[in-house]
Structures are given as structure tokens and as C-alpha cells.
Amino acid sequence: MSSDSSNADILLKNPVSFLDNSNPAGDIAISSRIRLARNISGHAFPSTASEEDSAKVCEEISAAAGETAVFAHRGALSFTSSEMSKLDRKILLERRLASKEFFTKIPGRRLLVCPQEACSLMINEEDQIRLQVIRPGMQLHQVWKEIDQLDDELGKHLNFAFDNQLGYLTSCPTNVGTGMRASVMLHLPALVLSGQIDQTVNGISKLNMAVRGIFGEGSEHLGALFQISNQSTLGESETHIIDQLEQLIKQLINCEKHARRELMEKKQNFLLDHIGRAYGLLKYSYVLSEKEALNALSGLRLGVYLELFKNLDIRKVNELLIELSPAHLRKKAGIELNDRECDEFRASYCREKLRQTS
């Protein structure tokens, strides 16, 4: 695996795989992701580990990953947190490959990414292993199958910290047990426009599920994008957790579809005006903030679902969700941009992308 600063540039040459969903059914369920937290027996957890021990753990886990089919691939990439530029770090955040915690000043941190970005492994983040698999659309069981197999492969070379009563031992008590966080990214614009979203979010929270924004914990619910994930990991099997989450997601998808039909039948002009204004903002603006872009892209995605645009599909709009992010724009520009210049470049880039649509 290569390990130089050009790896971020390599990522930018390919579309984000978890957004590459041309199936109309994937309009509401954008992506499915599972993360597993693991630690190695006989080593202190990252928050209390010495620099020497962290480096040793990093090499031990990297060697084990190199024995797996996924990370042994010659196209797999390696990133060292301490050696990356601020811009490249943000690229990884925007592509959902790393966390903010990963880039705090703790030695011995490394990120491994498979060629298509579906699988990644953070070493010495909050836990020594944070394994992730992410796929487009509603594919929780397929994602579980993939990450479970990869977890088993790593387990052949690493002795995970495990208690017969508690399960996998983790830095945060809320992850003890399965160590699993499963989530689905949903686009719920009709529930937002119809004023039903607050009631929906409150109902989800009562079911012991978490609701977060597009950028994870503590982020705003921009663009009508919501991450729904499990909160409990102790005393339940992985498949049971996934089944519960999947059942909830299917209910939310049905609620969103119903809300869209209601808007089309009873508030059609309101709905079409919302979509038209979103399209106009993206196509004709000369200054466009990230927040404005995300909220407008939500309207554009809804318009694609209603087949209002001949030359746009879900995949193209999904690409803009990432391409209009600050770090991706600055990387494309190839020059230093302040916030105002970035907003201007975002508008210019978006105008060009939508120039031939109607």
C-alpha cells in the first residue's frame, strides 16, 4: 500500500462509491454503513497508551490488514494522520472515511482504505480498530455480511479484547458488546416540508435509535439528510440490531413516500415552487454557501424523483453532495481560496454542472 500525500488526489479521481446509486429505489435510502470497534488484548486503549505502544499496535494491525483480501489489494491506500495536510484531512472527512477524532494529536494513527472506498480501517482512533463498510442504498444485511467476514479475517491474526459476559471491550461503554454501529443515510424532504419531521425524530429517539445530520453527531440536519443508527450494543446480537434498524428504515421510507404523494395531491404548487427555487439557486447563483447548496440539492433530488429533469439522475445529484463540499472544491481549484472565494467557486462549478440540464 502506498503512503504518500498524493493519496488524497487518487481518491478524487473516482466517484464516491456509496453515492453511486442509479436505482430509483435508492432515492430515499442513500447509503448503508456499519462500523465495528475492536481492541487488542494486552495493550492499553489509545487514550492511555504510550507512544511506543501505539506505534507497535499500529504496525501489528496494519500487518494483519495486509493479510486480508480487501486491504492486500495493490490499489489500497494508506494515510498517516500526522503526515497529512489540513486540506487532505478534510477530504477524508467529507468522504466519510475518517472521523474528527482521528485527526487529534495522538501518535500511531493510520487509515487504510480499499480501492473503491467501500471498506476502511482507522487504527488507534477512540479504539485501536474502527472497521467500516459502506454501500449505496438500503443494503444493511449485505454490509453486515462483508464486514463480518473482514472482521473474521482480522481475528485470525489479532487477539481481540473480549469478555464472555460483556462481549467486545471498547473505550466507550456505549460500544461494549457487539461494538457495532449500523446506520442508514436517508433523504426525507417531504417529511420536512410537511412539518412532520420533528414528530418523526422524537418517535425514533423513543425506539432507542439515534438521529444525526449528514456529518454525524452534533451536526445540523442540512439538506433533509438524516443518519439513523442503533444506540444499544450490549446484550443483543448483531443480526437482531440490524433487523430492528431495517424495520424502522422501511417504515420511514413508507412515511416519506406517503408524504410526497400528499404534497403532490394537496400542495402541488408549493412543492413545485420549492423544487424550482432550489434548481434556480443552484443554476444561477454567483455566490453559494455550503449550507445553501445542501438544502438546494435536497430540492433537486426531489425533482429528479418526480422526473422533472430530463438530463439529471440521482447519481449525478449525489456526486454534487460531495463535489460542492469545501475541501473538495479547494482541491479542484488548485489554489488557496478564502471562504468567500470558495462560495464563488462553488456557484461557478454548480452553474457549469447544471448548464445542460432542463
3-state SS, one letter per residue, for the chain: CECCCCHHHHHHCCCCHHHCCCCHHHHCEEEEEEEEEECECCCCCCCCCCHHHHHHHHHHHHHHHCCCCCCCCCCCEEEEHHHCCHHHHHHHHHCCCCCCHHHCCCCCCEEEECCCCCEEEEECCCCCEEEEEEEECCCHHHHHHHHHHHHHHHHCCCCECEECCCEECCCCHHHCECCEEEEEEEECHHHHHCCCHHHHHHHHHHCCEEEEECCECCCCCHHHEEEEEECCCCCCCHHHHHHHHHHHHHHHHHHHHHHHHHHHHHCHHHHHHHHHHHHHHHHHCCCCCHHHHHHHHHHHHHHHHCCCCCCCCHHHHHHHHHHCCHHHHHHHHCCCCCHHHHHHHHHHHHHHHCCCCC
Per-residue cell: 183: 446506520
- For domain 7-260, give the CATH superfamily: Glutamine synthetase/guanido kinase, catalytic domain (3.30.590.10)
What pLDDT, on a 0 to 100 scale, did the predictor assign at position 90?
Answer: 93
Question: Closest Cα to residue 130, out of 157, 151, 153?
Answer: 151
Instruction: List, for residues 196-226, the tens digit of each pLDDT value.
Output: 999 999 999 888 899 988 765 555 678 999 9
Phi-psi region of 244 (alpha: psi -120 to 50; beta: other; left: phi over 0): alpha
32 forms bridges with which residues in the sheet? Answer: 135, 184
The whole-model pTM stands at 0.92
Q: Which part of the chain has CATH 3.30.590.10?
A: 7-260
Instruction: Indicate if the pLDDT at residue 12 is higher than 90.
Output: no
In this structure, are residues 306 and 319 in contact, taking their beta carbons and an 8 Å threshold?
no
Q: Which residue has the higher pLDDT, 214 or 140?
A: 140
What pLDDT, on a 0 to 100 scale, did the predictor assign at position 25?
Answer: 53
In this structure, are residues 79 and 125 in contact, taking their beta carbons and an 8 Å threshold?
no
Q: Which residue has the higher pLDDT, 26 or 204?
A: 204
In this structure, are residues 177 and 233 in contact, taking their beta carbons and an 8 Å threshold?
yes
* Nearest-angstrom CA–CA distance, 354 and 50: 52
Average pLDDT, the chain: 91
What pLDDT, on a 0 to 100 scale, did the predictor assign at position 82?
Answer: 81
What pLDDT, on a 0 to 100 scale, did the predictor assign at position 4?
Answer: 45
Averaged pLDDT for residues 259-278: 97
Phi-psi region of 177 (alpha: psi -120 to 50; beta: other; left: phi over 0): left
Q: Helix, strand or coil for residue 125?
A: coil
Instruction: List, for residues 32-88, the tens digit of each pLDDT value.
Output: 999 999 999 999 999 899 999 999 999 999 999 999 999 998 889 999 988 888 999
In this structure, are residues 320 and 332 in contact, taking their beta carbons and an 8 Å threshold?
no
What pLDDT, on a 0 to 100 scale, did the predictor assign at position 65?
Answer: 96
In this structure, are residues 66 and 127 in contact, taking their beta carbons and an 8 Å threshold?
no
Could you tell me the pLDDT band of residue 13, with boundaries at 50, 70 and 90? Answer: confident
* Nearest-angstrom CA–CA distance, 215 and 101: 13
